[in-house]
A and B are shown apart, each in its own frame.
Chain A
Amino acid sequence: MKSSLLLVALFIIALFTGAALFFYKSKIPDIYQLNNAVQLQLNRVSSLDTNTNELALKNRINIETNYDTITKSVSQLKRSVKNMAEKNAPFLDPKNALLNKRYKALQQEIEVKSDFIENFKTRFAVLRNSERYVPVVGERLVLTAQQNNLTDIATLYRDTIITAFNFSSPYDKNADDRLPELIIQLQATEAPMPDEALSDIIEFTRHTQTMLNEKLYVDTYLNNALQTRTQENITELNLAWHEWLKQFDHPKRLLEYAIIAYIAYILIILAVALFLLRLRYKNLAQNVEEKTSELKLTFDQLQQSEIQLMQAEKMSSLGQLVAGIAHEVNTPLGYVSSNISTIKRDLHRLDAIWVAIQKLNQEIRAGGKDRHKLSQILREIVVSYRDSGGKQTVAELSELLDDSVQGLSEISQLVISLNDFSRIDKSDNSAANVHESLKSTIKICSNVIGERKITRLYNSDLPEIPFSAIQLNQVFLNILTNAAYATSPDDGEIRITTDLRDDQVLIEFLDNGCGMDTLTERKIFDPFFTTKGVNEGTGLGMSIVYKLVKGHGGDIEVNSRLGEGTTIRILLPVTTGEQ
């Protein structure tokens, strides 16, 4: 008891510890998954950032012809940073000082970049217009100047156009310095040129100036946008992130140790449990033995009782048998005894004759001259002869002797039958001959059968059956006794049929006795059930028959009709189960 209480206690502790571990584990986030997610997000931010740069340049050199793609890219970039924070609360938590700072720095830098890009877009649109228009209006002015023979001015205009062209392309760096100078000179051309050219000159000047101004802005904004530290910020954020993750290293390791300890603990409990189990197992047999010994005792006693009961029945039937035998022996013994008495008496009378003859013999030997003595002796002889009954006596004596011999042989037969009946076999399942057994049994109880008619319908090809002969005899004895008891002594008839059905031997006993009602029929195999009087039967006969038949793998069937008779059918297997 104590040990199982201990086990339960240990188990409960294990449960709570397990729950505690689980709880602790739930506090630690899944680092691997978390990190994966964050890395993916950082990668996305990074690639959007790069993409934005690329698109800005593409717009600058007119590969992209409108701002839709770069606008979308910037919008996605901003959203990706915001998403990252929304999905990962640690970034926004001010308690995570470094992480939060780096995140804000990245966010800030992206805002800055976005502003630069917007400004770039704004300025570039203007720059592009002027770049496109300058040659157009410039060419018009050149023509007008030429038409008015202002060749210097025309040259100036052309020069300006070319310088502007060079200025807008990246190849000629000198144009950067020259263009402002030329623009100053343009204003001076207003006077010499015709009036209708004035608006053109104004436009030309304005647009070239615009080019000059806007290119600076455009390239500055673009450069600034490209030079924002977004990539570095992303890297720094990543580093801060990994620093932040390190805080879980210790708890994770603790958890690992705890789990190892827990597993060890569980294994120990398991070992203890197994040990206790083994102990129990060892004691089990003993315990079971103890507990069942009483049962066994009772069972043994029961078996003993059963044997005793069977013995009792045997004794009882034996008693009946013995009574029968005693009677059978007594009858011939009686008349043999009286015969011998008669013979003895007669021989005694005959003896008188021998004595007389002996006297005669003596006399003759002595000479036989005394006639008086001789006639006296003769007279003795005749008297003795007449007393003994004469010649008849010897015949009578012979008859009596024959009778006696007959009587003794009857007794001898009985003894032989008894031997047969109680023949001790080596094993219970040695073969028994059904017909032989029937014959012996009928003889044994011939006293009980008396004058009743026995009809035999035997199948001569009946094989031997694996049945102990004693027990088979006992079966038949009980049935025949019952049949005899049920039938009238005068016209009682018992028909015995034997047959072979498949691999079963059938023995059927049919009598024309008083039969049984359904209730009795049902109970005849019940131990101690008898319809006989108190001292007449034990009531065990049929129950033993049932037990023996069933024990040999056979079947017994009873069919009875009240007032008409009873049929008992026995089926016994020809082979035992093992064969």
Chain B
Amino acid sequence: MNHLLRWTLAIIGLIPVSFSSWANEPIAPIPDKIDHNIAQAEFGKKLFFDTRLSADNSISCASCHNITTGFGAEKSAVSTGIKKQTGSRNSPTIFNSALNFTQFWDGRATTLQHQASSPVTNPVEMGMASWEQAIANIENDQEYKQLAKSLYNSELTEELVTHALAEFEKTLITPNAPFDSYLKGDENAINGEQKKGYLLFKAYGCASCHQGANVGGNMFQKIGVLKDITMQGGTLANDLGRFNITSNQWDKRVFKVPSLRLAVKTAPYFHDGSVATIEEAVDIMINFQLGRKVPKSDRQAIIAFLNSLVGELPRGVK
């Protein structure tokens, strides 16, 4: 139906709707670049790796968002902060987070900058008593002082540090995935199984929530929408998600739909990292979100498709 409809519309002349070849697809390619201030991003990169922003100088942003070898996330289920304290949520990949409409699993931060300030003062993460203390820890760094002066015409402040971090995060995108090339018209960018996997991804309805340029990250959804998640037999039902923010009954177990762009690389899965493998994750999604049975071969195809979503890591990160 789709093909016929598309061509009919084209003939009627509704092509102005969109000229791109992915116009009617639920997934769009990642843009090559997000506008950012290069110098400020460079500064942010230094801060990203700076452990002095943590109370015991042991943790930096890079500790949980490992951009060099961890695809921007980490292998543990939940993060470990200072003094070996553990948190309750799994670190999502920092790559492509600039494409998300909110940050954190519960979407409580509306901007990258807003998110960046949170871990510093989180007692179980970087554990600073306050941002004043964090600034005090780094304000004698001559290089930072000079950069702050020349780039922001100001002294070091929370606003300045988080802004620089956010600028840096804008550079952390992974464009040019094989699937993106396919979307742009290269029929040979992905193989037959991956193409089949994509069609199934759409047909089964995965693409209803995991859509857009980031294959997710632009909406909230309840986990266990077609089947009650308390029946999972695991810990996924324990976290009430957005309810903790809004206190709204309807927001119980509602989370931000995560991006699947680097999913195959960033095990473990879900908000508490309790699911170890991608196969298991796909199973749970199908079961509790789609309310359907899916044959194993279809699952394999879908996972093959998910592999084709992995784009190029930015230069200078490895």
Listed in ascending order, the chain A residues whose CB lies under 8 Å from chain B are: 63, 65-68, 71-72, 75, 78, 118-119, 121-122, 125-126, 128-130, 132-133, 137, 199, 203, 206-207, 210
User: Mind listing 5 A-B residue pairs with CB under 8 Å?
Assistant: A119-B250, A121-B219, A125-B205, A125-B208, A132-B205
A119 to B221, CA, bound (A): 9
Interface flags for B214-231 (1: CB within 8 Å of A; 0: not) read 000011111001100000
B314 within 8 A of A: no
Q: Give, as a whole number of angstroms, the nearest-CB distance from B5 to chain A.
A: 10
Whether the Cβ atoms of B26 and A65 lie closer than 8 Å is yes
Residues from 8 to 64 in B contacting A, C-beta threshold 8 Å: 17, 23-28
B190 within 8 A of A: no
Whether the Cβ atoms of B101 and A75 lie closer than 8 Å is yes
Whether the Cβ atoms of A122 and B28 lie closer than 8 Å is no
Supply 14 further A-B pairs (C-beta < 8 A) apart from A118-B220, A137-B292. Answer: A65-B23, A66-B26, A66-B211, A68-B212, A68-B213, A71-B218, A71-B219, A121-B220, A125-B205, A125-B208, A128-B208, A129-B205, A133-B291, A203-B292
Whether the Cβ atoms of A125 and B221 lie closer than 8 Å is yes
List of B residues within 8 angstroms of A71 by Cβ: 101, 212, 218-219
Q: Which of B23, B213, B222, B226 contacts A206 (CB 8 A)?
A: B226
A66 to B28, CA, bound (A): 9
B128 within 8 A of A: no
Q: Give, as a whole number of angstroms, the nearest-CB distance from A296 to chain B.
A: 72
Known: A129-B290, A133-B205, A206-B226. A67 touches B212 (CB 8 A): yes
Q: Which of B25, B208, B211 contacts A126 (CB 8 A)?
A: B208
Q: Give, as a whole number of angstroms, the nearest-CB distance from A263 to chain B.
A: 42
List of A residues within 8 angstroms of B226 by Cβ: 126, 206-207, 210
Residues from 218 to 255 in B contacting A, C-beta threshold 8 Å: 218-222, 225-226, 250, 254
B4 within 8 A of A: no
List of B residues within 8 angstroms of A125 by Cβ: 205, 208-209, 219, 221
Q: Look across to chain B and name the residue whose beta carbon is closest to the beta carbon of A128.
A: B208
Q: Which of A68, A121, A207 contacts B28 (CB 8 A)?
A: A68
In the complex, number of A-B residue pairs with CB atoms less than 8 Å apart: 72
Q: Which of A63, A65, A122, A206 contacts B211 (CB 8 A)?
A: A65
Q: Look across to chain B and name the residue whose beta carbon is closest to the beta carbon of A206.
A: B291
Q: Give, as a whole number of angstroms, the nearest-CB distance from A493 to chain B.
A: 97
A71 to B218, CA, bound (A): 6
List of B residues within 8 angstroms of A66 by Cβ: 25-28, 211-212, 218
Q: Give, as a whole number of angstroms, the nearest-CB distance from A514 to chain B.
A: 91
Whether the Cβ atoms of B205 and A128 lie closer than 8 Å is yes
Whether the Cβ atoms of B222 and A122 lie closer than 8 Å is yes
Interface flags for B94-124 (1: CB within 8 Å of A; 0: not) read 0000000100000000100000000000000
Which among A66, A71, A125 has the greatest number of chain B C-beta atoms within 10 A? A66
List of B residues within 8 angstroms of A68 by Cβ: 28, 211-213, 218
Q: Give, as a whole number of angstroms, the nearest-CB distance from A414 to chain B.
A: 108
A203 to B212, CA, bound (A): 28
Q: Give, as a whole number of angstroms, the nearest-CB distance from A571 to chain B.
A: 80
List of A residues within 8 angstroms of B27 by Cβ: 66
A203 to B291, CA, bound (A): 7
Q: Give, as a whole number of angstroms, the nearest-CB distance from A196 to chain B.
A: 12
Whether the Cβ atoms of A122 and B203 lie closer than 8 Å is no
B315 within 8 A of A: no
Q: Give, as a whole number of angstroms, the nearest-CB distance from B161 to chain A.
A: 21
Whether the Cβ atoms of B218 and A133 lie closer than 8 Å is no
List of A residues within 8 angstroms of B205 by Cβ: 125, 128-129, 132-133
Whether the Cβ atoms of B219 and A122 lie closer than 8 Å is yes
B3 within 8 A of A: no
Q: Give, as a whole number of angstroms, the nearest-CB distance from A1 to chain B.
A: 56
B84 within 8 A of A: no
A75 to B226, CA, bound (A): 29
Q: Look across to chain B and name the residue whose beta carbon is closest to the beta carbon of A210.
A: B226
B296 within 8 A of A: no
Q: Give, as a whole number of angstroms, the nearest-CB distance from A121 to chain B.
A: 5
Whether the Cβ atoms of B225 and A65 lie closer than 8 Å is no
Whether the Cβ atoms of A133 and B292 lie closer than 8 Å is yes
Q: Give, as a whole number of angstroms, the nearest-CB distance from A169 to chain B.
A: 14
B293 within 8 A of A: yes
Q: Give, as a whole number of angstroms, the nearest-CB distance from A150 to chain B.
A: 22
Residues from 60 to 74 in B contacting A, C-beta threshold 8 Å: none
Q: Look across to chain B and name the residue whose beta carbon is closest to the beta carbon of A199.
A: B293
List of A residues within 8 angstroms of B225 by Cβ: 126
Q: Give, as a whole number of angstroms, the nearest-CB distance from A186 to chain B.
A: 15
A63 to B290, CA, bound (A): 23
A72 to B101, CA, bound (A): 8
Q: Give, as a whole number of angstroms, the nearest-CB distance from A130 to chain B.
A: 8
Whether the Cβ atoms of A67 and B219 lie closer than 8 Å is yes
Residues from 281 to 300 in B contacting A, C-beta threshold 8 Å: 290-293
A207 to B226, CA, bound (A): 8
List of B residues within 8 angstroms of A121 by Cβ: 219-220
A63 to B212, CA, bound (A): 14
A67 to B211, CA, bound (A): 7
Q: Give, as a whole number of angstroms, the nearest-CB distance from A129 to chain B.
A: 3
A207 to B222, CA, bound (A): 16
Q: Which of A63, A67, A118, A210 contacts B291 (CB 8 A)?
A: A210
Q: Look across to chain B and name the residue whose beta carbon is closest to the beta carbon of A65.
A: B26
Q: Give, as a whole number of angstroms, the nearest-CB distance from B248 to chain A.
A: 9
A326 to B220, CA, bound (A): 143
Q: Give, as a whole number of angstroms, the nearest-CB distance from B243 to chain A.
A: 14
Q: Look across to chain B and name the residue whose beta carbon is closest to the beta carbon of A127.
A: B208
A75 to B218, CA, bound (A): 11
A248 to B308, CA, bound (A): 63
List of A residues within 8 angstroms of B26 by Cβ: 65-66
List of A residues within 8 angstroms of B17 by Cβ: 63
List of B residues within 8 angstroms of A67 by Cβ: 211-212, 218-219
A549 to B25, CA, bound (A): 112
A118 to B254, CA, bound (A): 11
List of B residues within 8 angstroms of A122 by Cβ: 219-222, 254
A119 to B254, CA, bound (A): 11
A19 to B219, CA, bound (A): 58
List of A residues within 8 angstroms of B209 by Cβ: 125
Which among B23, B101, B250 has the greatest number of chain A C-beta atoms within 10 A? B101
Q: Look across to chain B and name the residue whose beta carbon is closest to the beta carbon of A69.
A: B212
Q: Look across to chain A and name the residue whose beta carbon is closest to the beta carbon of B24.
A: A65
Q: Give, as a whole number of angstroms, the nearest-CB distance from A515 to chain B.
A: 87
Q: Which of B203, B213, B293 contacts A132 (CB 8 A)?
A: B203
Q: Give, as a whole number of angstroms, the nearest-CB distance from A500 to chain B.
A: 86
List of B residues within 8 angstroms of A118 by Cβ: 219-220
Q: Look across to chain B and name the residue whose beta carbon is closest to the beta carbon of A202.
A: B291
List of B residues within 8 angstroms of A207 by Cβ: 226, 291
Q: Look across to chain B and name the residue whose beta carbon is closest to the beta carbon of A217.
A: B250
Q: Give, as a whole number of angstroms, the nearest-CB distance from B199 to chain A.
A: 13
Q: Give, as a whole number of angstroms, the nearest-CB distance from A425 to chain B.
A: 92
Q: Give, as a whole number of angstroms, the nearest-CB distance from B141 to chain A.
A: 31
A68 to B22, CA, bound (A): 13
List of B residues within 8 angstroms of A65 by Cβ: 23-26, 211
Q: Look across to chain B and name the residue whose beta carbon is closest to the beta carbon of A78.
A: B110
A256 to B234, CA, bound (A): 77
A143 to B113, CA, bound (A): 56
List of B residues within 8 angstroms of A129 by Cβ: 205, 208, 290
Q: Look across to chain B and name the residue whose beta carbon is closest to the beta carbon of A74.
A: B101
Q: Give, as a whole number of angstroms, the nearest-CB distance from B256 to chain A.
A: 10
